[in-house]
Chains A and B, each alone.
Chain A
Amino acid sequence: MEKSHNPSQILAILHLSGRLDSFTSPNLKNQIDNEISTGKIDFIINLSQLSYISSSGLMVLLNAQKACNENAGYFYLVEVPDLIMNAFELSGFRKIFLFCKDVDEALELWRQQRNGY
Chain B
Amino acid sequence: MVTEIYPGEFSSLAAISDFVIEQSASAEFNPKDIYSIQTAVDEACSNIIDHAYGGESLGYIQISIEKINNGIRIVIVDDGQPFNPDEIPLPDTISPLEDRKERGLGVFFMKRLMDEVCYDFSDPNHNTLVMIKLKEQ
Contact = CB atoms under 8 A, between A and B. Distances in A.
Interface of A: 19, 21-23, 52, 54-56, 58-59, 62, 65-66, 69, 83, 86-87, 90-93, 96
B93 to A, nearest CB: 3
Given A23-B13, A83-B32, A54 B46 contact: yes
Contacts of A56: 46, 106
Please list the 5 inter-chain residue pairs (A to B) with the smallest Cβ-Cβ separation, ordered nearest first: A92-B93, A23-B10, A55-B105, A22-B46, A55-B106
B19 interface: no
Contacts, number: 67
Interface stretch (B37-45, B62-70, B79-87): B37-45
A41 to B, nearest CB: 17
Interface string B87-115: 00001111001101010011011001100
B93 A19 contact: no
Contact of B43 (A55, A69, A96): A55
Given A22-B10, A23-B14, A52-B17, A59 B102 contact: yes
A47 B44 CA distance: 24
B60 interface: no
B76 interface: no
A88 B118 CA distance: 25
B31 interface: yes
